[in-house]
Amino acid sequence: MVRIAINDHEMEVPEGTTILCAAKKAGIRIPTLCFVESLKPVGACRVCVVEVEGVRNLVASCATRVWEGMRIYTNTSRVRRARTAVVELLLSEHNGECQTCDRNGNCELQSLAAELGIREISYRGERARKRLDVSTPALVRDSGKCIKCRRCVSVCNEIQNVGALFPQFRGFHTVIGPALGRDLATVACVQCGQCAAICPVGAISERDHVEMVWAALDNPDNFVIVQTAPAIRAALGECFGYPPGTLVTGKMVAALRRLGFDAVFDTNFAADLTIMEEGTEFLTRLRKKFVEGADAPLPMFTSCSPGWIQYMEFFHHELLGNLSTCKSPQQMFGAVAKTYYANKLGKRPDDIFVVSVMPCTAKKFEAARPEMTASGTRDVDAVLTTRELARMIRVAGIDFASLPDEQMDAPMGLSSGAGDIFGHTGGVMEAALRTVYELITGRELPTPDLHVPNLTGLEGIKEAEIPLTQLKPEWSFLEGITLRVAVAHGLANAERLIRAIEKGEREYHFVEVMACPGGCIGGGGQPRYTDHRVRLARIAALKKEDEHKAIRKSHLNPQIQQLYAEFLGQPLGEMSHRLLHTHYFT
Ligand code: HC1
């Protein structure tokens, strides 16, 4: 331990602690625009400067570790003057257009200027030039608003291992973006939106689909359906003042009805459908390998996260065959809505407009992929992020807190608990195991309360082993085998796992990968946060949703059983192949 004093308050902290963390422990908030707990400190913004006795210059508290006997002052006039000067300089070159900015009222720079009492900017000079990059279907970048804090660079490199963004040039001319000032669409960006989620200002945000959705709702010829992803219900409440982890499923449904959607359905229903298809595909691969000795790529990787799919397409062609051929639940939903449900309504696919509410910006890109047209037209027409939906609810004047709890519509609104947990890391694997184990043994997965303890939590890579014994006769070829599964979230973790597999250090049958840290609850389109406890709270909310469900296994969802009986036939059948499966580009 190291003895220090902050503002004359004596305390002990572990060796290696930064001044910023020590101050937090002492209940002192030091403002910062570049520091985020889950990323390595870069000391780029200089807002967090403090005075240290015996040190001539002010030091960046996020990047300076304490030493024995250190005396730190966080609130001297020198510190206040320096912070104010830094923020004024940022404001002087920031092309903020605050009144019309997406981040107005929710901008860290704006809040900090208010907190520091900045009423005018003492510096006058050249402003950064507005330069819009709208080259991808998912994201919009405005370099004029960028404050060069480098959070996006860190998340893109450290957490996602993508490296699409980095700083170029120096001083006022520094630009953060793809190499040579190019647009995002020209580099290997997976469009996960983690940069948009972490940006403290309005320099990176999602492509806005709100006007498109209003137009669809206003068109009397459209039948407008909405589906909501598993992770929305655990985070939407944050936009209306509820604490992280508050489940708002019923109010969300009520709000969507009041916005004018003709039917409110659940992506979780399609998550159950995915388990039917993906579980069957997995068992088919095992049969091919163990019985027929045929080439069946294992481990099988899950395929519901579009950022992960793009990552594989960019960086791991050699493993594309290992990806499940299942489309994501979002796209399965769209394809089934425009065929099965359209038939029920007596409508053509073109008469139906499908809107998704997703925690993920890459879902906008996924919906726009040319192969996602199994119904004969675009299967999902518009994708709103959680933040965009919250904006629509506010614009419509809906008082979210006073809404009653309402239920989703039939026949695509019912989900099992397994569908609910798709939204957090480990959830897809757990959902799959609940069904696969029961299909081959006739017994329930023998883990506590149907959870697989090793697969939960925020560990970057998680593993579990499930011994297979006393199997049904048709699955006896798997008797005695121990099923080895793994889960990774965040693409840097996925890369570590891939390397371990390719080197032969690890061997699995089935692997879940979600591009975003924590899974979809940490998606790039979710309400923004910098405290990792938000992720834990959202995960706990989805677990609660699952545990309170009467049906917790996908194969027992009666609406899924009805869909197969009335329309699809059987998992991996001809109709499923046509609507629910896809291929990947090399
Ligand atoms: Fe996800 Fe999925 S869980 S990918 O994380 O498989 O976005 O929530 O909708 O499609 O169901 C996201 C979340 C989401 C799909 C499902």
Contacts of 533 (CB under 8 A, 6+ apart): 244
The yes-or-no answer on residue 371 being catalytic is yes
Question: What pTM was estimated for this model as a whole?
Answer: 0.96
ipTM for the predicted complex? 0.94
What is the per-residue pLDDT for 122? Answer: 85
- The rounded Å distance from CA 226 to ligand 1 centre is 14
579 C-alpha to center of ligand 1: Å? 18
Confidence at residue 586, expressed as pLDDT on a 0 to 100 scale: 58
Q: How many CB atoms lie within 10 A of CB 257?
A: 15
271 lines ligand 1 (CB under 6 A): yes
Rounded CA separation 144/195 (Å):
16
Q: Which atom of ligand 1 is nearest to the CA of 362?
A: 7
Ligand 1 centre distance from Cα of residue 234 (Å): 13
Decide if 195 is catalytic: no
pLDDT at residue 382 in the model:
98
- Give yes or no for a contact between 305 and 326, defined as CB atoms under 8 angstroms apart: no
pLDDT at position 129: 80
For the Cβ of 282 lying below 6 angstroms from any atom of ligand 1, the answer is: no
> Which is it for the CA torsion 237, 239, 243, 244, positive or negative?
positive
Ligand 1 within 6 A of CB of 328: yes
Domains and CATH numbers, the chain: 2-75 (3.10.20.740), 89-206 (3.30.70.20), 270-325+415-580 (3.40.950.10)
Atom of ligand 1 nearest to the CA of 268: 11
Per-block average pLDDT, block size 10, for the chain (586 residues)? 96 97 96 93 93 96 97 97 96 90 95 95 81 96 94 97 93 88 95 98 97 98 97 98 98 98 98 98 96 92 98 97 98 98 97 98 97 97 98 98 98 98 98 98 96 94 98 97 98 98 97 98 95 95 97 98 98 98 82
Q: Please give the pLDDT value at position 121.
A: 87
Q: Which helix (H) or strand (E) holds 60?
A: strand 59-60
Q: Does residue 520 have an active-site annotation?
A: yes
Residue ID of nearest Cα to ligand 1 atom 9: 229
Longest dimension (CA), the chain: 80
Residue 38 has a pLDDT of 87
Q: How far is CA 201 from CA 93, 196, 322, 450, in A?
A: 13, 9, 39, 42
Element (H, E) at 72: strand 71-73
Ligand 1 contacts CB of residue 307 (under 6 A) = no
Query: Active site includes 324?
Result: yes
Amino acid 454: pLDDT: 94
Residue 197, helix vs strand vs coil: helix
Instruction: Quote the ligand 1 centre to 447 CA distance (angstroms).
Output: 24
Phi, psi of 12 (to 5 degrees): -120, 135
Burial class (CB in 10 A: 0-12, 13-18, 19+), 454: middle
